[in-house]
Amino acid sequence: AILEIIKDLGIISKIHIVEYPSGKASIDTINQNLILLKGQYDFIPDLVVLDSANLLRPVVRRSEKRTELSDILIDSRGIAGELNCHVMSGAQTNRGGWDKSTPTVQDIGEVYDWATIADFILAIGRTVEDRVAGTGKALIAKNRNGKDASTFPMNMDLDNGIIEIVDDIHQIQSISETKDEFDPELLNEIINGIT
C-alpha cells in the first residue's frame, strides 16, 4: 500500500524493502544487505529506515538489555557514516510519555542513551483526544545540526499512513509555554542551547 501512495505522489526513487522476523536480524545483517546492494546493483540508499531498531538481535550479548540497545544504535550510526547515508528508527515512549501531547527525550522508552547517541529526535505526541480526533503534535526534541524545541500540530490518518502538518511551526520561547508537559530543567537547557 505504501508503494502505491509513493507512486501516486509521483515520487520516483529506488526503494528496496527487506523484512526480517523480529529478533532474527542484527545490525550486521542490515550491513551485509547494504554491502550486497552496493556490490550487485551499485545502489547506496540515501535513507535506511529500521522499523524498530530495538527489535534487532544484538551482535554482542550483554548483561543488560539497555547496553545491547545502545550498541545497536551506535552500530547503526557507524553504518550511516561508512555509507554516507541516514539511518532512522522509531522508538516508543515510556509510560510517562504515553498520553503527553508533546513527549520529550526523557520519555524515550527503554534506553535514555539513545537521546545522547542520536543526531535528531522527533517526538510525536498524541493524547486520547488526539487519537479520537486524528490529530497530534510533534516536537523537534533534538537536532545536533540545527534548530530544535520547535513544535507543530498535525493531522494523522494512521489507517492510511498519512501525516500532514496543519499549522506553522512554533518555536518554544519560554518555559511557561510548556505548562506541565516538559521537565523545566531539560527545557531550559534546550532553549538555551546547552544540549
- pLDDT at residue 71 above 70? yes
Which of 25-29, 93-97, 98-102 reaches the highest mean pLDDT?
A: 25-29
As beta bridge partners, residue 170 has: 151
Burial 124-152 (b: 16+ CB within 10 A, else e): bbbbeebeeeebbbbbbbbbeeeebbbbe
Over residues 96-112, mean pLDDT: 67
Amino acid at 119: D
Give the pLDDT confidence of 167-188 residue by residue, as tens digits.
Answer: 765 655 554 554 444 455 555 5
Mean pLDDT check: name the lowest of 124-138, 142-156, 178-192: 178-192
Q: What is the pLDDT of residue 179?
A: 45
Between CA 176 and CA 167 the distance in angstroms is 21
In the structure grid, which three cell numbers stand for residue 111, read together? 534506553
CA distance 87 to 47: 6
The grid cell for 118 is: 542520536
Check: CB of residue 165 under 8 Å from CB of residue 154: yes
Mean pLDDT rounded to a whole number for the chain: 78
The three three-digit cell numbers of residue 138, written as one number? 510533534
Q: Phi and psi at residue 150, in whole multiples of 5°? A: -105, 140
Q: Count CB neighbours of 102 within 10 A.
A: 22
pLDDT tens figures, 130-140: 888 998 888 88
Asked whether the beta carbons of 182 and 139 are under 8 A apart, the reply is: no
Q: What percent of the chain has pLDDT over 90?
A: 5
Instruction: Give the pLDDT confidence score for residue 28 in this predicted structure.
Output: 92
Least confident of 48-62, 81-95, 102-116, 127-141: 102-116
